[in-house]
Amino acid sequence: MFINTNMGDDYGATSKLFNTKVLLGLVAGAGFSYGLYKLIFSGGNRGKKREFRTGGDAAWNISMQPGSLLERVSGLPLVHEKSDLTVNGSTTDELLSKSPNSLEPHHLEMLFSLLQTNPDPSARIQVLVTLGNSAAFSVNQDYIRKMGGLQIIGNLLSDPAFDVRVQALNVLNNLSMNATNQEQLKVYVRQVLGIIETSHLNSDLQLAGLRMLTNMSVTNNYQYMMKSSITLFLSLLVVGNVILQIQVLKILVNLSANPDMVEDILRSQAPVSLVLLFDSCTNTEVLLRVLTFVGNLKDWTTSTNVTEILKHNKDSLYSVLYGDSSELHQKLPLLLSHPDGEVKSQVAKIMT
């Protein structure tokens, strides 16, 4: 049972056969996300583009305050699921079927009690679905934090049930829309990175982890915790499907909008096949985000000595994109004839 119904087709036959680590190993052997950011860091990064998780699902029906973090970084679509759970009689069933915006603190406390005491994975999943929906509202995000709910949900990242881990990440994703919550949720960043690396490629678990990290990368505060995983992101960008590529690119665009992260990005090992994305056959949404990512890197300047070191590191992203033998030099001009006007505009900006 998954909250995001758009993810159901992503877990195909390939993901059942190959672990992400295996595919990333093959890639290495072959050649080898503005609003909140502007609000907080408006002084130094004008012109840089950032990616945010955005809404758009018809299931969303939330009144958001203009300029709030919730407006900028959307969580999961709201899903109203009927529950046949009968723990403690009809009280629990009524609790799980309540509208998310009608849940009060004592209801949330009951949900957390159920989450910790019910041994049935399907029951825990239903509780997490309800908590995830309620966590789309800022007032509930604060309640959940104050009653210790972040740690309770975070502990479920190690639950033996796959679907429980997925739903736990979905809840943490919504909770991470709250800047105060992020300060506590940062302790899970490296664990989530490990989940992304070891999960089946394109799986719901991997995508849920990437969505949470998209929220955590909106500001500069916790981006440093993702430095060592830039190569992982770049590799997933090559081997993943379109849905995964878009989610990875949201993170990469966020990281590249921070000048303090650019050198680490360019130093990171990258597959040579990354340049194949700069093609008219590439999904337009993916292509636009790749171009935005590279556009954010374009204005980076450093000493001649550092540039020379990066040039000679043939596996670095710098060499893959800007090296003398990089195919990007030939591919970019061809994109000037792309049918999408925004693509052409992005290409022209990079080439000038």
Task: Give one DSSP letter per residue of 206-272, joined into a string.
Answer: HHHHHHHHHHHTSSSTTGGGGGGGHHHHHHHHHHS-HHHHHHHHHHHHHHHTSHHHHHHHHHSB--G
Query: And the tokens for 166?
Result: 């997925």
- Beta-carbon contacts of 257 under 8 Å, excluding residues fewer than 6 positions away, are 34, 37, 45, 48, 49, 50, 296
Given a contact cutoff of 8 angstroms between Cβ atoms, the answer to whether 249 and 286 are in contact is: yes
Given a contact cutoff of 8 angstroms between Cβ atoms, the answer to whether 295 and 49 are in contact is: yes
Per-residue pLDDT in tens (0 to 9) along the chain, 352 residues: 333 433 334 444 444 434 555 444 444 443 333 333 333 334 445 456 555 443 333 333 334 445 444 444 444 344 334 444 434 443 677 777 777 777 889 899 999 999 999 999 999 999 999 999 999 999 999 999 999 999 999 999 999 999 999 999 999 999 999 999 999 999 999 999 999 999 999 999 999 999 999 999 999 999 999 999 999 999 999 999 999 999 999 999 999 999 999 999 999 999 999 999 999 999 999 999 999 999 999 888 776 777 778 877 889 999 999 988 899 999 999 999 999 999 999 999 999 8
CA angle at 60 for the pair 55 and 61, rounded to the nearest 5°: 130
Q: Single out the residue of 261, 250, 244 nearest to residue 208, CA to CA.
A: 244
Q: Look at the pTM and tell me if it is higher than 0.85.
A: no
| d(C-alpha 255, C-alpha 80), whole Å | 34
Q: How many CB atoms lie within 10 A of CB 65?
A: 9
Task: Show the beta-strand stretches assigned E in the chain.
Answer: none
The torsion angle over the Cα atoms of residues 231, 217, 206 and 122, rounded to 10 degrees, is 160
| d(C-alpha 8, C-alpha 72), whole Å | 26
| Residue at token pair 């502990």 | 155
CA atoms within 13 A on the CB side of 217: 34
- Beta-carbon contacts of 136 under 8 Å, excluding residues fewer than 6 positions away, are 60, 62, 70, 75, 76, 78, 100, 174, 177
pLDDT digits (tens, 9 = 90+) for 182-200: 999 999 999 999 999 999 9
pLDDT digits (tens, 9 = 90+) for 226-236: 999 999 999 99
| d(C-alpha 4, C-alpha 212), whole Å | 14
Given a contact cutoff of 8 angstroms between Cβ atoms, the answer to whether 111 and 95 are in contact is: yes
